[in-house]
Structure 1
């Protein structure tokens, strides 16, 4: 299967008063078309920076980022980005929020409506299409944000801890909703999280990063079938993979300073 996203020997540095801070140090990673990959690691490991590069919001200091073998030079409609903050317009209904990107793209009204309703249906908000954000729960707001990303029909979804602010039960429900939607749409997903269980439950591969400087520590294959189920979370197979990822995240050797 061909690569959808490729990070080629990516370096990201930031100037500081008396030194240079290296956020990412020679990171190389390929994500296949239609693959679901999670990225997990300690605070400061550069996982959000990596996602921002794929989104075209941040450029590398060295190396390159490719989507469909073309260099990423900025944001584009082929990549939908979802952050932890919902970023909904409070004066617009769910439907109007989902239609917003389509309106900017000058999509005709009838087509906007059709695509918005399809996206709203996918995330299970059809009964709330005319509701304002203030009437929605946190989980419903995040589903609205996901629907807005889906409506513009991106080939890639870039998700930066989208469920991090939610309670445990809502988080699990949205994980299942996301996997259900992904099974129907089969977009390429790069999902940043600090939660090891979430990383294993969602992904085909878990990329474990190390900090200072940010680099890939290891990549763990999740050899579990889809659809993922609640029973699977309790299985010995899931537990073994989870322990492997947990150990890789929280028992890392100290960084070796670059020469």
Structure 2
């Protein structure tokens, strides 16, 4: 497998009430170029920490995180990061928010406009390009945040529960929107979620993590065709994989003691 993102025996700890909390304990994982991988697990299993290290926002205590075989040493334009919070500038329009990163990169005006309009079109916000965030629904704000990430043309999208605050219908609609955009652009996606159905519906592989300490419990292949549809979501095959992931998340055994 040609790995786009690699985690090599990654360990990350944090001080907690005079003790040490192990967020990640020897995590190794390879994500292929253009692969869509979701990560699911109980609270405290290190999902967001894993993504933050791929983004260059945190460093491992030991082990390595690599993108294209190069150790991650900080944030970079090759990786777009999307969080649950929309983080839009309220005084800027949709277009101005989307082109913000391109302005920072001193992209020429004509090219900046072309890439901004393309990204806005991909997420279906062309009719709202001149609207301020306060006039948008929650789902539209998140689509704006996704367009902003796409505009800088990253090779990797790192998404930390981007749909977690949305209502169920909007969440399903944005899942389909995201998969439609991914099928056109074919980025490598690492997507964190608490929702088992979402994890299965989006991904080609689901990484199930366990807590105390944070570690990979199982990696489950999702052998369902793209494009994903409502029929697939309601199929026995989807239900079987969903139940397998659910059982892996919520019926985990305690970690064995580490060797001295």
- Residue 104 (structure 1) aligns with: 104
Q: State the alpha-carbon separation in 1 of the partners of residues 117 and 240 from structure 2.
A: 41
Q: Which residue of 1 aligns with 2:221?
A: 221
Partner of residue 30, structure 2: 30
Deviation string, structure 1 residues 6-54 (Cα, Å, up to 9, x no partner): 0000000113453221110000000000000000000000000000000
Q: Give me the TM-score of the superposition, normalised by structure 2.
A: 0.98
- Counterpart in the other structure of 1:139: 139
For residue 83 of structure 2, what is the aligned residue in structure 1? 83
Residue equivalent to 2:51: 51
- Which runs of structure 2 are paired with 1:233-244 in the superposition (5 Å)? 233-244=233-244
TM-score, reference length from structure 1: 0.99
Displacement of 1:109 in angstroms is 1.3
SS at match of 1:153: coil
In the alignment, the residues of structure 1 paired with residue 210 and residue 184 of structure 2 have an alpha-carbon distance, to the nearest angstrom, of 33
Match of 1:73 in 2: 73
Where do residues 1-259 of structure 1 align in structure 2 (5 Å cutoff)? Answer: 1-259=1-259
2:15 and 2:226 map into 1 onto residues whose CA distance is: 44
Consecutive unaligned residues in structure 1, runs of 5 or more: none
Following the alignment from structure 2 to structure 1, what is the Cα–Cα distance between the partners of residues 142 and 18? 41
Q: Write the distance in 1 (CA, Å) between the matches of 2:22 and 2:105.
A: 37
Matched positions, count:
259
What SS class does the counterpart of residue 6 from structure 1 fall into?
Answer: strand
CA-to-aligned-CA distance 1:179-230 (integer Å, 9 cap, x gap): 0000000000000000000000000000000001000000000000000001
